[in-house]
Amino acid sequence: MRPILTIAGKELRAYFVSPLAYVVIFFYLGVSGLIFALSVTGQQAEADMRGLFGTMVFVTLMLAPVITMGLLAQEQASGSIELLMTNPVRDWEVVIGKYLAAAGLYVGLLAISFEFPLIMEKYGSPDWGAVGAGYIGVLLAGLAFLAISLFASSLTSNQIAAAIMGAFMLLFFWLIGWLAMSVSQSFGDVIKQISTYENLQDFVKGIVDTKSIIFYLSLTGYFLFLAVRSMENRRLI
């Protein structure tokens, strides 16, 4: 456990040494804050965060490849991954440590964004059960996005390529639910089961669906497993 925490702490500090963390925070809160301001200042404004949750997840989809693109790709490009692998650290510990750093940054973003429902509470009466369900969905979706993007970072030594591959993978899982409208109903129902967008909808509506929780956790675990396998294969090359 100590190697994992050491790697996670090192990577989390590295985020704030570079401008990356500040750019991510500014962009995430800036876009989310703008949508929040527009939603609460309209003529028919309600103490409802459903639209904001959708925005937060979509912004996360754009930022996840940026947050993770250098975690494994940069190590491979600089050759420091070889030095890391010569230490008594296993591949899965490297992957999990770096993932926890990215997850820590993301959880920090969500913690800061909690100011939105607090502001709403001051001027209205939000449904805190729905707010909690929405935040659970946003958290689970974001953790899955980070795992997918980290896997993309394990595939290449080029950070830009890692970010592009991660973005394409995330868009695939986000948009695949739309294919359900152009195929047979039985096949369409199957497609919806693997859509990150479709699995988010119950959370946005204030419903904590066990099936969707299992989906996001399974997606996270599966892509972390693939990232570990990718690192193991690179060790053998």
pLDDT in tens, the chain (237 residues): 788 888 889 889 988 988 888 999 999 999 988 888 877 776 555 656 777 888 899 999 999 999 999 888 877 666 555 555 556 778 888 899 999 999 999 999 999 998 888 888 777 677 888 889 999 999 999 999 999 999 999 888 888 999 999 999 999 998 887 776 666 566 667 777 888 988 998 898 888 889 999 999 999 999 999 999 988 776 655
Name residue 93's amino acid.
E
* Residue 195 and residue 204 in contact, taking contact as beta carbons nearer than 8 Å: no
Structure-block tokens of residue 130:
């729905």
pLDDT value of residue 44: 59
Give the pLDDT confidence score for residue 86 in this predicted structure: 59
Cα atoms in the 13 Å half-sphere on the side-chain side of 168 = 8
User: Within 13 Å of residue 169, how many CA atoms lie on the same side as its CB?
Assistant: 21
Torsion of CA 88, 95, 1, 6, to 10 degrees: 80
pLDDT at 42: 61
Q: What is the pTM of this model?
A: 0.90
| pLDDT one-digit tens code per residue, 24-40 | 999 999 998 888 887 77
Q: Where are the domains of the chain?
A: 2-236
CA quadruple 177, 147, 233, 76: dihedral positive or negative?
positive
**Per this entry, what is the length of the chain?**
237
| Residue found under tokens 């459903």 | 50
- Residue 79 φ/ψ region, left for φ over 0, alpha for ψ in the -120 to 50 degree band, beta for the rest: left
- Which of 81, 77, 101, 78 shows the shortest CA–CA distance to 89? 81
